[in-house]
Amino acid sequence: MSHYRSNRRDIEFNLFEYLKVGEYYGEAPFASFDEDTARDALREVDRLATDEFANSFVEADRNPPELVDGQVKLPDAVKSSLDAMYEGGWHLLGLDESLGGFAAPPSLRWATSEMLIGADPATFLYASGGLMAGVIAAEGTQQQMEKWAIPMVENRWGATMVLTEADAGSDVGAGTSKAVHIEGDAYHLEGVKRFITSGENDYYDNIIHLVLARREGGDPGTKGLSMFIVPKFQVNDDGSLGERNGIYTTSIEHKMGIKGSTTCELTMGMNEPCIGYLVGDSHHGIRQMFKVIEDARMMIGVKSAGTLSTGYLNALEYAKERVQSADLSKSMDKSAPRVAIIRHPDVRRMLMLQKAYAEGLRALWMYTTSTLDNKVLHPEDEYWDKVNDLLLPMVKGYSSEKAYELLAQSLQVFGGSGFTQDYPIEQYIRDAKIDTLYEGTTAIQALDLFFRKIARDQGKTLMQFSDGMMEYAKGGSDDFATERQALGQALEQVQNHIGVLVGHSMNSMQNPTEIYKTGLHTNALLESLSEVTIAWLLLEHAEVASAALLDATGDDVGFYEGKIASARFFVNDALPKIALRTEAAQAEDGWLMELSDAAF
């Protein structure tokens, strides 16, 4: 039986009942996907995720790939899962028609992605060829489009993003890999890269690496980095595979989680030439690579939310079946019947905690996908691009932290059984931890949110975005008057928190160490802004659910009641913490940064 439990009902609620994507699905530029077609796609991907794709989850973890004589052999189950995805054409869903794709709305692409990545994240990570092909198509020359991007899709080649170096880590601009010009767009590359996902495997005939390196004479820091197409095998003029290129996997990491995903050290130009091709004939590597990075950050937020969701649903199923102890109100009666543990107060609390946040994280990333839809629908309106930038560090940073934290509550529901491999929760936890680390740690997301997305923008996008929250807080239905009042107060507290951090940043112009006071509280701001946004979204969900309840029947009654419960629980659990974080920021005197290292 599959470990994976999808929540397609909530995905469809977000899409069709709250975001109302049916109003523009089926119209240009999304003419190929009307609402009925989209629902069909969701149903089929749900089936695929639960069956064939989830089948590789355990085998890839228990028998992870190994590097032998420079080659990596993937478990058969991983290959079967990838076969099922490719044979169904699901890798084409979000790709542009110029690459042979179906040009689905971004919101639908990500909705299907939640189910696949929730079913087996390690296997899903191999399927990045389409993304890299899209970047080459957008940033490369016409010749590169024809030689690399189109064949990557047609031939189902693998692909990687190659940034990190051992001595640089997240400081990408400190990388030392170098590129020496040969002729035209061709360069010799030398260097060692680390933590490269899917850097080697025996599933794909070819792997296209998108590599950041510094050309001779390139500026220091990130501005001097260029992006290169570096194939595992060169491609002949007739499209056939040619000679092996000089980029090799020299080791793979042995990891805590996502063990089925090969995480590689790549060495370029060690014993034979490694030839790469400058993307787009221009040296704007970091800007070009950010198209990949932003997509990867979105993917991590979706992965986190999807993993918490299936963890919660597994725990819920267990809590309904596991009978243990009498009802607390009858605990003195030794003859009282034993009850399912869902009837015990603390188990009930844990379940609602998981439910509210799992639905909240999904609401956050799904709203963010609607901004991507709107970027396509309204390319002339800069707001959608800017608000997407604002939301992305919340999707990646907050979702990854909260999912990892609350998966421990999923395990707790199982008791000691959850600590064993009889149930999937322990693997969910191991697979989820990486989400707070790669593609920029949580602290980096928080710094990005404050300095780049708020301060540099002078708060303009945030003010425009928060106007919608404040409008709701002042004008929703009377049924949620108490919650709306709490939302309004929390929003004011977040604004105060931002004001404090801006003040410290301004003071740092005269006294540079004042910036420490900002840095000590940016993570807290990330939490608070994420939680006030989620509270707003869940309350708007509750408004929709409350209206729908009037005519609901069957399973929909419980679903809509649950949406209202999630909103109320989240507001009561999350929003009171916002004022405490603001007070802490206001009281900050920087003493921690003055403490001697020896005191630690």
Together in a domain, 493 and 555: yes
What is the pLDDT of the chain when averaged over all its residues? 96
Detail the DSSP E strand segments found in 198-320. Answer: 207-215, 225-231, 233-235, 241-244, 247-252, 263-268, 275-278
Together in a domain, 18 and 112: yes
DSSP codes of every residue in 25-74: TTSTTSTT--HHHHHHHHHHHHHHIIIIITTHHHHHHHS--EEETTEEE-
Does residue 451 form part of some domain? yes
Answer yes or no: is pLDDT of 476 > 80. Answer: no
Q: The domain that contains 24 carries what CATH number?
A: 1.10.540
pLDDT band of 70, cuts 50, 70, 90: confident
Q: What per-residue confidence (pLDDT) applies to 49? A: 98
For residues 234 and 189, what is the distance between their CA atoms, to the nearest angstrom? 14
Answer yes or no: is pLDDT of 333 > 80. Answer: yes
The residue out of 387, 416, 439 marking a domain boundary is 439
Query: Which residue is listed with tokens 């070819």?
Result: 206
Q: Which residues have CB under 8 Å from 509's CB, separation 6+?
A: none
Does residue 476 form part of some domain? yes
What is the three-class DSSP state of 20? coil
Q: What per-residue confidence (pLDDT) applies to 173? A: 84
Short-list 11, 174, 186, 195, CA closest to 107: 11
Question: C-alpha distances in angstroms, 35 versus 110, 205, 375, 539?
Answer: 15, 36, 20, 25
Answer yes or no: is pLDDT of 519 > 90. Answer: yes
For residues 364 and 91, what is the distance between their CA atoms, to the nearest angstrom? 24
Q: What per-residue confidence (pLDDT) applies to 171? A: 84
For residues 400 and 439, what is the distance between their CA atoms, to the nearest angstrom? 11
Tell me the mean pLDDT in the region 144-149.
Answer: 97
For residues 234 and 157, what is the distance between their CA atoms, to the nearest angstrom? 13
Does residue 152 form part of some domain? no
Tell me the mean pLDDT in the region 425-445.
Answer: 97
Alpha helices in 120-234 (DSSP H): 121-124, 129-139, 142-144, 150-154
Together in a domain, 366 and 301: yes
Provide the residue range defining the domain that includes 594: 441-600
Together in a domain, 379 and 502: no
Which tens digits make up the pLDDT trace of 181-223?
A: 999 999 999 999 999 999 999 999 999 999 999 999 899 999 9
Angle between helices 285-321 and 425-433 (to 10 degrees): 160
Query: What are all long-range contacts of 140-146, with beta carbons under 8 Å and residues at least 24 apart?
Result: 140/229, 140/279, 140/280, 141/185, 141/280, 141/281, 144/185, 144/229, 144/277, 144/279, 144/280
Q: The domain that contains 229 carries what CATH number?
A: 2.40.110.20
Q: Phi and psi (nearest 5°) for 264?
A: -115, 155
The residue out of 252, 283, 314 marking a domain boundary is 283
Strand partners, 229: 210, 277
Structure-block tokens of residue 286: 């970091």
Under 8 Å between Cβ of 386 and 461: yes
Together in a domain, 305 and 257: no
User: Could you give the number of structural domains in the chain?
Assistant: 4
Q: What per-residue confidence (pLDDT) applies to 240? A: 96
Under 8 Å between Cβ of 229 and 148: yes
Does residue 1 form part of some domain? no
Together in a domain, 166 and 196: yes
What percent of the chain lies above the pLDDT cut of 70?
100
pLDDT band of 29, cuts 50, 70, 90: very high
What is the three-class DSSP state of 119? helix
Together in a domain, 236 and 269: yes
What is the three-class DSSP state of 324? strand
Question: C-alpha distances in angstroms, 159 versus 199, 208, 437?
Answer: 8, 5, 21
Does residue 145 form part of some domain? no
Does residue 3 form part of some domain? no
Does residue 586 form part of some domain? yes
Under 8 Å between Cβ of 96 and 32: no
For residues 103 and 95, what is the distance between their CA atoms, to the nearest angstrom? 5
Together in a domain, 412 and 395: yes
Detail the DSSP E strand segments found in 232-336. Answer: 233-235, 241-244, 247-252, 263-268, 275-278, 323-326
Q: What per-residue confidence (pLDDT) applies to 332? A: 87
Strand partners, 340: 323
For residues 544 and 479, what is the distance between their CA atoms, to the nearest angstrom? 12
- 420's enclosing H/E stretch is none
Tell me if residue 439 is catalytic: yes
pLDDT band of 76, cuts 50, 70, 90: very high
Together in a domain, 577 and 494: yes
Together in a domain, 349 and 420: yes
Does residue 130 form part of some domain? no
Which tens digits make up the pLDDT trace of 392-425?
A: 999 999 999 999 999 999 999 999 999 999 999 9
What is the three-class DSSP state of 476? coil
For residues 574 and 568, what is the distance between their CA atoms, to the nearest angstrom? 10
Active-site residue identified among 52, 114, 200, 439: 439
Together in a domain, 433 and 445: no
For residues 337 and 351, what is the distance between their CA atoms, to the nearest angstrom? 23
Which tens digits make up the pLDDT trace of 265-324?
A: 999 999 899 999 999 989 999 999 999 999 999 999 999 999 999 999 999 999 999 999
Q: Peptide bond before 393: cis, by omega within 30 degrees of 0? A: no
What amino acid occupies position 354? Q
Together in a domain, 319 and 377: yes
The residue out of 399, 419, 439 marking a domain boundary is 439
